[in-house]
């Protein structure tokens, strides 16, 4: 577990978890003990243990690819909190989603405010979460490039989400993705500039790396 802080805001990162090497997070307000959980992949028992002394107000999914909620029954059963995600997500059965979270919506944990940023492309309802100086980017943005896309149109939508929504954030914003290590918005802008300076085939999609694609 890695721990990051920003005033009363504490972030706990758990990962790599499960066969897909996912990350999961706890966003906690130290003063009140209230918290939110971000994603619940396979291997989330460590997260549950860390959350046992916290008042978890919600379990937020960045998107509903199955690797991000494989421990649904375990985590929801242990924490008893509502499962929250963007209403455009279609992969998870509707009866397993307790509360929608649309673009600009806010969740709270004590004095901590977490804002939803709808960033479609990887999936229709992919959503990043902004809490203080931390951006939980799911599979929208990683060090080196965007998350995998299934079509050229999806890639263009993902790029639009990244450049118009995420790149509007301060350069020092710390990006905490759904897999692997983090980066910053400033570093991501520099990497994207390399990609944007080149021409690309019209059918480009899939696993795109800013420096190599």
The confidence band for 90, taking pLDDT boundaries of 50, 70 and 90, is confident
Computed over every residue of the chain, the mean pLDDT equals: 97
Instruction: Return the beta strands (E) in 74-201 as ranges.
Output: 83-85, 99-100, 106-109, 112-118, 127-131, 134-138, 141-142, 145-146, 174-177, 183-184
**Is residue 201 one of the residues assigned to a domain?**
no
And the tokens for 5?
Answer: 């802080």
What is the 8-class DSSP label of residue 51? H
**Is residue 208 one of the residues assigned to a domain?**
no
DSSP SS3 for 127: strand
Evaluate if residue 45 carries a pLDDT over 90.
Answer: yes
The predicted-structure confidence for 136-152, as pLDDT tens digits, reads as follows: 999 999 999 999 999 99
Q: State which H helix or E strand residue 163 sits in.
A: helix 152-164
Q: Cβ distance 177 to 138 under 8 Å?
A: yes
Number of separate domains in the chain:
1
Reduced to 3 DSSP states, what percent helix, strand and coil does the chain have, rounded to the nearest 5? 25, 35, 45
- CA torsion sign for 103, 104, 105, 106 is positive
Backbone phi, then psi, for 159, in 5-degree steps? -60, -40
The confidence band for 21, taking pLDDT boundaries of 50, 70 and 90, is very high
Look up the CATH number of the domain holding residue 56. 3.60.15.10
Look up the pTM and report it.
Answer: 0.97
**Is residue 73 one of the residues assigned to a domain?**
yes
**Is residue 203 one of the residues assigned to a domain?**
no
Q: Cβ distance 71 to 64 under 8 Å?
A: no
By residue range, what is the domain housing residue 165?
Answer: 2-196
Question: Residue written as tokens 């577990």?
Answer: 1
Query: How confident is the model at residue 109, as a pLDDT?
Result: 97
**Is residue 81 one of the residues assigned to a domain?**
yes
């Amino acid at each position: 577990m890695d721990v990051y802080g920003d005033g009363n805001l504490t972030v706990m990162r758990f990962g790599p978890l499960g066969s897909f090497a996912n990350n999961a997070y706890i966003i906690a307000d130290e003063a009140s003990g209230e918290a939110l959980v971000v994603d619940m992949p396979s291997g989330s028992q460590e997260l549950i243990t860390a959350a046992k002394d916290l008042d978890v107000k919600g379990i937020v999914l960045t998107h509903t690819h199955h690797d991000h909620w494989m421990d649904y029954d375990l985590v929801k059963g242990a924490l008893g909190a509502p499962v929250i995600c963007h209403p455009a997500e279609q992969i998870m059965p509707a009866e397993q989603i307790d509360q929608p979270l649309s673009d600009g919506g806010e969740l709270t944990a004590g004095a901590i405010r977490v804002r939803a940023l709808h960033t479609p492309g990887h999936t229709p309802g992919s959503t990043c979460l902004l809490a203080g100086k931390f951006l939980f980017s799911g599979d929208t943005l990683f060090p080196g490039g965007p998350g995998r896309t299934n079509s050229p149109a999806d890639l263009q939508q993902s790029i639009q989400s990244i450049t118009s929504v995420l790149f509007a954030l301060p350069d020092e914003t710390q990006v905490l993705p759904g897999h692997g290590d983090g980066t910053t918005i400033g570093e991501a802008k520099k990497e994207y500039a390399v990609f944007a300076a080149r021409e690309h085939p019209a059918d480009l999609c899939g696993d795109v790396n800013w420096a190599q694609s």
